[in-house]
Amino acid sequence: MVATTKVGVRRNLDGEQVRPLKLCIIGAGGFIGSHLCEKLMWDTHHSVLAVDVYGDKIQHLLAPGKSWSDRIEFHKINIKHDSRLEGLIKLSDLVINLAAICTPADYNTRPLDTIYSNFIDALPVVQYCRVNHKRLIHFSTCEVYGKTIGSFLPADSPLKKDPAYYILKEDESPCIFGPIEKQRWSYACAKQLIERFIYAEGAENDLEFTIVRPFNWIGPRMDFIPGIDGPSESVPRVLACFSNNLMRGEPLKLVDGGQSQRTFVYIKDAIEAVLRMIENPARANGHIFNVGNPHNELTVRELAELMTDVYCKVSGNPRPAVPTIDVTSMEFYGQGYDDSDKRIPDMTIIKKQLEWEPKTPVYDLMESTLTYQHTTYAQAVKKAMSKTLAN
């Protein structure tokens, strides 16, 4: 994408002029944060106080001499320990909290860190917003829904095909998790509890808030590649796992047969939804929004097949003789793993309130993402593999 050089007057969905805002974005250096900062710098007059421990993914925005350089500041802060955070929140008009541990492999192996990151560390942000009368957009997760009602029906039940048993609605669907010993649900439980805390602050103390539930946002700069820009022993999310396998010429590992179903939405589409939340507070305040694309539904096995086809196209590599192998969740994630069967968002509320719908089909978003992965990482992966063989 080419940066916009001229930005005209922005108007919200009701035709009102949008005044420039100062946003404190916590987690600005991550995947979602970097794309949001790009959108804000390139297409709006808003300014950003970018808070994160790492800023690698927004270095291109922080370089001096850009037309937007006076509208973005990077503050290297770990929100666990830094008293400067409240001062930055006081300076802002709106706070967006993206900070989280959100990698499934960590939910099993680091459940305490997961709970602290997604609940305990988020509490002061909510309280600073309430005390200082700042609006909050908090990023939650589609995992708060847990398992669908349909997953508890007999395998041959015709009700499994009834949308009432699997479509996930913000204001109706129950949140169903597995037993306590399945520590995979530590993330979902922590995210649900901070949602309930925010909602209670709104009800009792008039906190202005919006909660976002992302459904598998996909695009360039997502996650990390082990041993390249992340720890060698770490396990990233599924897209980065599969990308790493493809670049290494290894079979893609399908956990428990890859039967879980997911939907995928392009990051650029999703960021447009977030911008509408930012610029339309009267329509967004007090709401929880699913942000996903129900038309881009695949099983994880189908995802592996699609990614293999697309990667062979963008890289010019031949299709592998053994594209996938099945592994158990115990082998891949260890003790305590569990999963949800389907995650398909209902889009009624976001369509009504923000007039937003996703546009990008799954093949196109995958082609964009894997082109980036190949261009950015393939040579580094090849060098790392050569070094390993030499040793």
Question: Cα–Cα distances in Å, from 374 out to 97, 170, 378?
Answer: 30, 36, 5
Strand partners for 97: 26, 138
187 is catalytic: yes
Find the angle CA(174)-CA(340)-CA(328) to the nearest 5 degrees: 160
Residue 352's alpha-carbon distances to 80, 293, 356, in angstroms, are 37, 16, 8
- Among 166, 187, 311, 333, which one carries the catalytic annotation? 187
- Amino acid identity of residue 238, one-letter, is V
- Rounded Cα distance between 372 and 219, Å, is 8
Across the chain, the runs of DSSP E, i.e. the strands, are 22-26, 47-52, 72-76, 94-97, 135-139, 167-168, 209-214, 217-218, 252-255, 261-263, 265-266, 287-291, 297-299, 324-327, 344-345
222-261 b/e with 16+ CB inside 10 Å = b?
A: bbbbbbeebeeebbbbbbbbbbbbbbeeebbbbbbebebb
Q: Which residues are catalytic?
A: 187
